[in-house]
Amino acid sequence: MKSFLKYVAGQFGHPSGVGGTIIHYIMNKQNVQQYDAVRDNLHIRPTDIILDIGFGNGYLIKKLLEQNPLKVYGIEVSQDMLNKVSRKLKHMISIGKLDLCLSAIEKLPYNDTFFDKICTVNTLYFWDDMESGFAEIKRTLKPGGIFTNVFYSKDILDKMHHTQYEYSKYSVTQIVKMTENSGLKINQVIEMQKDVSYCIIAKKTAGPKPLTGMTNEELWRLFPIILSEHQEYWKNDFQQEKKLLNEKIGYSSIERISHIGSTAIPGLLAKPTIDILLEIKRGTELNKLIEAMESCGYIYSPQPCKPEPYMMFMKGYTPAGFQPPVFHVHIRYSGNWDEVYFRDYLLEHPETAKEYGQLKLKLKEQFEHDRNGYTEAKTEFIQRITNLAKECL
């Protein structure tokens, strides 16, 4: 009797031969409600690419194809089932509507963000590694994609003799927790039969919009004007970044690296952004410079209205907001630049620096979410003080 129960359990997990055919016939009769739950809750659209995990004898795949999605994929651990379903649905394969392969859930042979919908019915008891299985589902789902997972409760499985072999049984609470731990968001838990079978519908939430896809208004909301009291560690942040830039770009290409902007002025209110003036030698290969800066984590920002070589780089900006320390590196050829005159004058005239801080505090209230407006409103003061600095030479 024990060997027979082991055989039955093995056929549920890895069907083959006559035994597998019989088992799947029984399953198709028992699981009609479960298959319908998958079909009804996937809300299939003509553009959907769908994966069926553990397709068995192809009963659910046929139901999915009837909804006319763009394409259905299926994985199965049983070579026998793969062969049978491939023969049975060879026409759908030939016209490109169906693709089947031999694979375990723990290492899916598909690219990231490939599927719109993923579903499985009564397979999770046989996964070798639950954490890896859920991670693969999340990896291959598109943002906003749906995972539908149908299974029998641990309580009902415990009452079946054959499930003491081969099966890993989980409570609904455990499966919900494993789903959430993978990063998927539970949309709904449907109890199809009280204390018997369940359908969990989960969604892969869309990540933050990339910075390149944001409007100016969205960027200004994400990165508002923030003013901070002067911090002593800003000087150290500059020195460490200067060392990194020298190493990555090479001393032979650099004329001078200067700490400019308000964070270079002790006692001055400042946006917590380290502004750096990087003066390079003419003849520096600009493509290699861009590569070196990007290797340091910088975002390249062409500056056609600024002096040659029309470049700025930024670091510390992420789709989730600021990630300190934040740097702006202004690339120029060697010269006498206004930013240095302005910095030096404020260092020598604390009363002017205080006046500048008060102006910034006032403008922050007006332009907190308008960086262009904030910068333009400071221009007259900066230009006046810069001209004064040049006259003092």
Cβ neighbours around 259 below 10 Å, total = 19
HSE-CB for 334 with a 13 A CA cutoff: 9
Starting at the earlier edge strand, list the strands of the sheet with 115-121. 98-102, 71-76, 49-53, 115-121, 141-152, 197-203, 185-193
pLDDT at 30: 61
pLDDT at 35: 75
- Return d(Cα 392, Cα 379) in angstroms, integer: 20
pLDDT at 340: 97
pLDDT at 209: 78
Place of tokens 């780089």: 313
- Return d(Cα 262, Cα 353) in angstroms, integer: 9
pLDDT at 20: 47
pLDDT tens string, the chain, 393 residues long: the values are 545 444 434 444 455 554 445 445 455 556 666 778 788 888 999 999 999 999 988 989 999 999 999 999 999 999 998 999 999 999 999 999 999 999 999 999 999 999 999 999 999 998 999 999 999 999 999 999 999 999 998 988 888 756 676 788 999 999 999 999 999 999 999 998 888 899 999 999 877 778 888 888 899 999 999 999 999 999 999 999 999 999 999 999 999 999 999 999 999 999 999 999 999 999 999 999 999 999 999 999 999 988 899 999 999 999 889 999 999 999 999 999 999 999 999 999 999 999 999 999 999 999 999 999 999 999 999 999 999 999 987
pLDDT at 161: 57
- Return d(Cα 361, Cα 227) in angstroms, integer: 7
Q: What 3-state class would DSSP assign to 15?
A: coil
- Return d(Cα 84, Cα 93) in angstroms, integer: 13
pLDDT at 322: 94
Name the CA dihedral angle for 85, 87, 88, 89, rounded to a multiple of 10 degrees: 80
Q: Which is it for strands 49-53 and 115-121: parallel, antiparallel or unpaired?
A: parallel
- Return d(Cα 167, Cα 10) in angstroms, integer: 9
Q: How far is CA 322 from CA 234, 241, 273, 303, in A?
A: 16, 17, 10, 22
- Return d(Cα 35, Cα 145) in angstroms, integer: 19
| Cβ–Cβ < 8 Å for 150, 118 | no
pLDDT at 57: 87
pLDDT at 12: 45
Is 141 exposed, middle or buried (CB count within 10 Å of its CB: 0-12, 13-18, 19+)? buried
- Return d(Cα 73, Cα 54) in angstroms, integer: 11
